[in-house]
Amino acid sequence: MVEQNQVELAPFTTFGIPATCAHYLEIASEEEALSALSKLENEPFMVLGGGSNVLFTSNYNGTIIHNRIKGISRIREDEDYVYIRVGAGEVWTDVVEYALDQNLGGIENLSLIPGCAGAAPIQNIGAYGIEIKDVLESVTAVLLPNKSIRVFDHASCRFGYRDSIFKQELKGRFCITYLVLRLTKKHQLNTGYGAIREALNTIPESNWTIRDVSNAVISIRRSKLPDPAKLGNAGSFFKNPVIPTRQFNQLQEQFSTIPGYPVSENETKVPAGWLIEQCGWKGKQVGQTGCHALQALVIVNYGGASGHEIQQHAMNVINSVKERFNIELQPEVNIIEK
């Protein structure tokens, strides 16, 4: 286990914002996860993967546990599926690449999402019609206060839109070590998003492969999402709000072009990017931060922004959307304040 004090976290996050942590532990196995959590039982700690969904607003006083548990292996298969076990510290895009190489389907729509596998079930990562819950068989985690190793099956993860048990009652007292994913041998391509079909229109539909879908998703993402290696960001800063359809219908009377997608009998999801754009934030730089010019939902660090500055900008966006539409945006990014 690598142990250090006063480690700079900017290189470990996609926002690239300067912040140090008091202590740093790098773990590479389940045993090390267990021993790290045993040591830290009564002290503040936070597990970090690829740092692509966090914003540090100041130096962190506790211990950062950097999860580097590696390994991807086939553990069983049947006629239709192959089950793979993935170490939480595997880079997610490497997991997708492994699946594509082995001609295993189910996660091609989740291509190019940054971060590590271990974080994927926490906010139930999703893109282009697929969420990790659609392929997730189980999650293994070390849990406090008992320092027990627990396997969560699909139902006990309690997945929702950008939500799971790990963001709710287990928050702050677990370290995910492994996932098991159930991947297909007989593929069912999910090309429901119009943009995917458009990107595939040079290939006859009967020839489409999971690799083609992955390439289409990658090209769509590259066309609007900023590359964190060039422009610091953490993807969508806010969740898309889900509001009562009654409220949506009222808004539609006032704002006739407001987009919305029914998600249940009486709830509608509204794209936060649209709300933010309507408030005039899209492409507007404020100090060293602002909402991206091609995707207003992404808050960026133009270089040298502080975590506090980004948090303040997010508050200003929340306030103006609330004032104009009476909708309160909720951050998707984990804001770490101590």
Q: Which does 152 bind (CB under 5 to 8 A by kind): ligand EPU, ligand FAD, none?
A: none
* H/E segment holding residue 31: helix 30-39
Virtual torsion, Cα 242, 246, 251, 253, nearest 10 deg: 150
Token pair 């999910």 is found at 190
103/219 with CB nearer ligand FAD: 219
Token pair 């289409």 is found at 216
Q: Which residue out of 108, 131, 162, 221 is catalytically annotated?
A: 162
- Quote the least distance from Cβ 318 to ligand FAD, whole Å: 19
User: How are beta strands 267-269 and 242-244 bridged, if at all?
Assistant: antiparallel
Name the 3-class secondary structure at 74. strand
Does the annotation mark 74 as catalytic?
no
| φ, ψ (nearest 5 deg) of residue 112 | 70, 10
Does the annotation mark 253 as catalytic?
no
117/251 with CB nearer ligand FAD: 117
Do residues 10 and 18 make contact, with C-beta atoms less than 8 angstroms apart? yes
What is the rounded distance in angstroms from the CA atom of residue 180 to the CA atom of residue 178?
7
Closest by Cα among 320, 317, 328 to 289: 317
Residues between 229 and 248 that touch ligand FAD (CB under 6 A): 233-235
Residues between 253 and 292 that touch ligand EPU (CB under 6 A): 259, 271, 273-274, 277, 282
Does 63 bind ligand FAD (CB under 6 A)? Our answer is no
Closest by Cα among 47, 50, 49 to 60: 47
105/241 with CB nearer ligand EPU: 241
Question: Site for ligand EPU (CB under 6 A): which residue of 12, 81, 128, 248?
Answer: 128
Q: For ligand EPU, what does the binding mask look like between residues 295 and 324, x meaning CB under 6 A?
A: xxx---------------------------
What is the rounded distance in angstroms from the CA atom of residue 11 to the CA atom of residue 17?
8
114/307 with CB nearer ligand FAD: 114
Q: Which does 274 bind (CB under 5 to 8 A by kind): ligand FAD, ligand EPU, none?
A: ligand EPU
| 84 DSSP β-pair partners | 74, 181
Q: Which does 23 bind (CB under 5 to 8 A by kind): ligand EPU, ligand FAD, none?
A: none
Q: Which does 277 bind (CB under 5 to 8 A by kind): ligand FAD, ligand EPU, none?
A: ligand EPU
What is the rounded distance in angstroms from the CA atom of residue 2 to the CA atom of residue 73?
25
Question: Site for ligand EPU (CB under 6 A): which residue of 84, 127, 179, 300?
Answer: 127
Eight-state DSSP code of residue 238: B
Do residues 76 and 104 make contact, with C-beta atoms less than 8 angstroms apart? no
Does the annotation mark 131 as catalytic?
no
* H/E segment holding residue 58: none
Residues between 198 and 257 that touch ligand EPU (CB under 6 A): 235-236, 239-240
Question: Site for ligand FAD (CB under 6 A): which residue of 122, 180, 272, 329?
Answer: 122
Token pair 């999650």 is found at 139
As a whole number of Å, the end-to-end CA separation of the chain is 24
Q: Which does 100 bind (CB under 5 to 8 A by kind): ligand FAD, ligand EPU, none?
A: none
| 233 DSSP β-pair partners | 300
Residues between 126 and 155 that touch ligand FAD (CB under 6 A): 126-127
- Quote the least distance from Cβ 118 to ligand FAD, whole Å: 3
Q: Which residue out of 52, 111, 164, 236 is catalytically annotated?
A: 236
Closest by Cα among 68, 71, 93, 183 to 137: 183
List of residues contacting ligand EPU (CB under 6 A): 127-128, 235-236, 239-240, 259, 271, 273-274, 277, 282, 295-297, 332
| Positions marked active-site | 162, 236, 332
List of residues contacting ligand FAD (CB under 6 A): 14, 46-54, 67, 88, 113-116, 118-120, 122-123, 125-127, 174-176, 225, 228, 233-235, 334
